[in-house]
Each structure stands twice: as C-alpha cells, then as structure tokens.
C-alpha cells in the first residue's frame, strides 16, 4: 500500500465515522420525537 493510499484510507475512515455519528444522532432524534408525541396525546 502506498503512502497516498494509506492517507486516503485514513480520510475515508474518518468520514465513515463522522457519517455513522450523524446517522446515530438522526435516529436518536427521531426516537425522541416519537416518544414526545406519544406522551403528548
């Protein structure tokens, strides 16, 4: 593996981690909304 490939891999891993975190936050927010609506009625 070349240095540029290793660097690219690191960048992709960092982006993947960031996207997973965004997805988790989004799913959690959706659950909180559902729970809030359930309790409201």
Can you give the residue ranges of every domain in the chain?
1-41
Give the per-residue pLDDT at 39: 86
Name the pTM for this structure.
Answer: 0.73
pLDDT digit string, tens, across residues 1-41: 899 999 999 999 999 999 999 999 999 999 999 999 998 76
Looking up tokens 């559902």 gives 34
Location of structure tokens 């659950």: 31
Residue by residue, DSSP assigns 1-41 as --HHHHHHHHHHHHHHHHHHHHHHHHHHHHHHHHHHHHHH-
- What confidence score (pLDDT) does residue 41 get? 63
């Amino acid at each position: 593996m070349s240095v540029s490939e290793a660097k690219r891999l690191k960048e992709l891993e960092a982006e993947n981690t960031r996207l997973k975190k965004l997805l988790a936050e989004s799913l959690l927010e959706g659950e909180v909304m559902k729970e809030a609506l359930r309790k409201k009625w």
